[in-house]
């Protein structure tokens, strides 16, 4: 019953928000994910929606897309010609252990009931030296802190169940993987999220993490459950 309700909720959410054909952080995530995923790999794309971001790393890979939105999966299957599976990512993944070289989860963690349980499943379906690639909004960037200070809602997406800072995200990932990289992406020193002085890669880490719109990661070396 939960999955049916969530499926209807997300289908409505995607239509209402104009999310088909849209990539959050489209200026930087496609190129970065293409580099990190590479080619010649078996890739599991979790939360693929209609496959708009998937096109960035489709070439040369064996892809399977997963989402709870059946309408979006139909678009992904027709547009990319890849196998798709409808599944609730709060449940165990319907795949064998050590089945994939790379798992991608772009803008997924914040939507899940128990992110740590989800990461255990990701580690299970990865080969021992596989890569886990993903991203999540930087919920505690400076703009959001100012909104909170002035008594305004800083999180407007009703489907977000969790809010991640760079530190919290890193601790969560390090509990499940031996090697973890977290990269702060995008943002401007002035003018809000899309205008002003762009925060470049050469900026100090504290500045990138304070102003970034998104946090991307790649992890390797799944830890065995205790």
Kindly tell me if the per-residue pLDDT of 13 is higher than 70. Answer: no
pLDDT attached to residue 159:
84
The pTM for the full model equals 0.90
In the chain the first and final C-alpha atoms are separated, in Å, by 31
pLDDT attached to residue 198:
67
Parallel/antiparallel/unpaired status of strands 100-106 and 84-86: unpaired
pLDDT attached to residue 195:
58
Q: d(Cα 75, Cα 32) in Å, to the nearest integer?
A: 24
Which domains does the chain show, CATH number per domain? Answer: 2-222 (3.40.50.150)
pLDDT attached to residue 206:
72
pLDDT attached to residue 101:
97
- Mean pLDDT, residues 165-190: 89
Instruction: Give the tens place of pLDDT for each residue, 139-157.
Output: 888 777 777 778 777 777 7
Instruction: Give the tens place of pLDDT for each residue, 17-68.
Output: 567 777 877 788 899 999 999 999 999 999 999 999 999 999 999 999 999 9
């Amino acid at each position: 019953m939960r999955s049916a309700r969530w499926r209807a909720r997300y289908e409505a959410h995607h239509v209402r928000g104009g999310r088909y054909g849209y990539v959050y952080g489209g200026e930087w995530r496609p190129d970065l994910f293409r580099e990190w995923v590479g080619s010649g790999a078996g890739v599991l794309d979790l939360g693929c929606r209609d496959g708009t971001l998937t096109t960035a790393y489709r070439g040369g890979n064996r892809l399977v897309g997963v989402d709870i939105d059946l309408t979006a999966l139909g678009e992904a299957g027709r547009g990319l010609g890849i196998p798709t599976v409808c599944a609730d990512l709060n449940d165990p993944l319907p795949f064998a252990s050590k089945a994939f070289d790379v798992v991608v989860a772009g803008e997924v963690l914040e939507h899940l009931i128990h992110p740590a349980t989800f990461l255990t499943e990701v580690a299970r379906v990865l080969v021992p030296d596989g890569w886990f690639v993903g991203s999540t909004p930087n919920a505690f960037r400076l703009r959001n802190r100012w909104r909170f200070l002035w008594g305004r809602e800083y999180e407007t997406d009703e489907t977000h169940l969790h809010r991640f800072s760079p530190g919290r995200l890193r601790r969560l990932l390090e509990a499940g993987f031996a090697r973890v990289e977290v990269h702060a992406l995008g943002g401007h020193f002035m003018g809000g999220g899309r205008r002003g002085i762009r925060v470049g890669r050469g900026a100090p880490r504290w500045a990138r993490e304070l102003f970034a719109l998104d946090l991307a990661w790649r992890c390797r070396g799944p830890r065995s459950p205790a």
